[in-house]
Structure 1
């Protein structure tokens, strides 16, 4: 090699070794944070921690034998189908059985009205893809399910909270916001809401449906907890109201009544929107796992899911009552809390001087955890609030956890 060629080679090597910064993440990824609930669960994963933070069903109540039998059946009797690709819309047998369950509960439904999703969380993401353009306005409850705020934030939506009270959102306030903000959709968890546990009464549901019909608004009605009722009578879905039938998407899930690890959810939507969600799902994951869908369909065919849910609800009711019985001694004087008729969560408000996010580290040192309320607000958070999940622990563990909580809050 000549000196000139060696020099040129060295120069080329030097230029190749120069490090150039990579292009940045998308703006939506940079501007949307992670889940505080997931962060808290990671910090409090030690077995000695009594964790009121997660929305975790009690694992000892899973129908392990029934679910295992369903998987054995489909893997032994139809392995070729169970382990194969499936249609994006979902396995026909599962959709038929889901449609039948919804029809019995007062909402006439056909299999073709449904799209099976990988958990109802995916249904939210698909709806955001199909409906929301960056800058569109979305209305939510105050406070709101945290992961919905994440989904809408990633979609570039402008999120506006609808004022409400202990019974849920205020339909009059909703009507004013719809006129002023011209939103694309309203997202609501009207039954045993996450995080508050409250339930929207029937008259307000009718009023919400009427507002949507008068002003042109999509309603996304999320119902993961509705079957976990402990007191009172079932309140019909907003989707069943005549004014809302052509403009409501109803989301459902097996996570709270069968097992969250199955990741099985579904959405019921009018045809054009459902087809748009199916296209979005094709791009996301092609289809929900076939074997899980077929196992769930088999379970519904041979097991009594309603009886299983009733058994779970009986246990959860006792756990709710145990938490209610211990709150007065655990929380500071002047605190307030609700008595949910079902679901998994209880919402508490401490005196105004308390900041539950700032207090959490000293509470965790007592080996107990909760979720601060502030992240559940789209704006103007109430920093004195907190969410407690009451279904994961036994009444005895709940009692001990509340004693630890009281010590932690007192410092």
Structure 2
């Protein structure tokens, strides 16, 4: 087979490689997942919404739909973005995608040429980086602090690298660090990017899962030049298996995305879109999200308190205000990847943080997830991991 040169740049997911190791060892407590808790999928309500939707509009649900998406769902999403993110959008600004991952791939396809440069937070979501790799671009990581991307560093990167075309950021409870940008940092970020000919991809799958602090407006709500492409998703607030997500951008940009999507898959799953619309219309999605937030906060707080009690004092970690992840930093002399096999053998697993860097990454870092494990598993797993770390520290 004569594969394209593009395939030489495609890399397998290192996270899924870790998952394979875990599967091979029975009974391991895994903090390596990046999944919502299936116990909080609203099964009964979704079933009711689906059955009523089928009775009311079954033929339409099973038929082809518009490439842009199911019109009543577009209207509902416009309302929700205005209420939750402060985004003043119209249905013309939205295109439905098959998960946010498709949105990332479409952004890369639309904007990137060979030799362009993508700027991302350092570290960043591996799926966003891998979506860009096939297009022959380079990557530059910009470090973050507790308030978000370091603006002075970003300005230097943009001024010194005219080939930067795309910035990929996750301002809310970032994967993998769990950090959220402050309002002031978001304002500073927008001031800087408005000085350059660049596009910003604002990926926001975790934004509604804030269980501490006040909500902060999205970058898209501050966008006065049409530079921000916003990616939203139902995966973390409803369920990921439906793959219902969307792009919100300037109308001229969504028109381009619509043309791309026609060639990719013609349209998103019409049935799933109508399921989600029916659920939002008939049930209280906000109340459902509050239930998820309360459960995740309890687990996050438990994990943090146990880490504080049992981890060696030289180990530091983030204290997220929402989302699904805690970022751990070990002493710089240690490699989390080299310790992983020992941890799995002891009965606990995580994802080494070095996999979340576009280029060479910090080897002394770990991503922990707290959403797919029970409180009992958190109590046991943190103690097991603490004992492993004490062997090396």
1:97 equivalent among 76, 87, 109:
76
Alignment size in residue pairs:
388
Q: Is the Cα contact below 8 Å between 1:228 and 1:313 reproduced in 2?
A: yes
Is 1:341–2:321 an aligned residue pair? yes
For residues 146 and 17 of structure 2, the distance between their equivalents in structure 1, rounded to whole angstroms, comes to 28
Tell me which of 217, 229, 239 is aligned to 2:220: 239
Residue aligning to 2:169: 188
Alignment correspondent of 1:362: 342
Structure 1 residue ranges without an equivalent (≥5):
1-21
Contact residue 320 and residue 390 of structure 1 kept, 8 A: yes
Q: Which has the larger radius of gyration?
A: 1
**Distance in 1 separating the partners of 2:80 and 2:217:** 14
Q: How does 1:3-402 map to 2 (within 5 A)?
A: 22-23=1-2, 25-45=3-23, 48-105=27-84, 106-182=86-162, 183-243=164-224, 245-402=225-382
Distance in 1 (CA, whole Å) between partners of 2:309 and 2:341 is 20
For the residues of structure 2 that align with 1:259 and 1:220, how far apart are their CA atoms?
Answer: 23
Contact 1:149 1:378 (8 Å CA) reproduced: yes
- Structure-2 separation of matches of 1:153 and 1:330: 40
Give 1:94 deviation, angstroms: 0.5
Could you say what the CA RMSD is over the residues aligned between the two structures, in angstroms? 1.4
Question: What per-residue deviation string (whole Å, max 9, x for no partner) do you get for residues 204-242 of structure 1?
Answer: 111111112112221111110010011100010011115
Q: How many angstroms does 1:161 deviate by?
A: 0.8
Q: CA deviation at 1:378?
A: 1.8
Answer whether contact 2:336 2:364 (CA < 8 A) is retained.
yes
Moved over 6 A (4+): none
Partner of 1:14: none
> TM-score if structure 1 supplies the norm length?
0.91
> What secondary structure does 1:381 align onto?
coil
Of stretches 222-231 and 72-81 in structure 1, the one that deviates more from structure 2 is 72-81
The answer as to whether partners of 1:364 and 1:408 remain within 8 angstroms in 2 is no
Q: Aligned pair in 2 of structure 1 residues 294, 47: CA closer, same or farther (>3 Å)?
A: farther
Give the distance between the partners of 1:77 and 1:57, measured in 2 at CA: 30
Q: Take 1:54 and 1:171, find their aligned partners in 2: how far apart are those partners?
A: 31
Query: Within 1, Cα distance between the matches of 2:143 and 2:15?
Result: 24
Q: Is the 8 A contact 1:152 1:159 kept in 2?
A: no
Task: Give, in whole Å, the separation in 2 of the partners of 1:242 and 1:36.
Answer: 34
Consecutive unaligned residues of structure 2, counting only runs of 5 or more, are none
Contact 2:314 2:330 in 1 (8 A): yes
Which shifted more, 392-401 or 26-35?
26-35
| Equivalent pair of 2:123/2:143 in contact (CA under 8 Å) | no
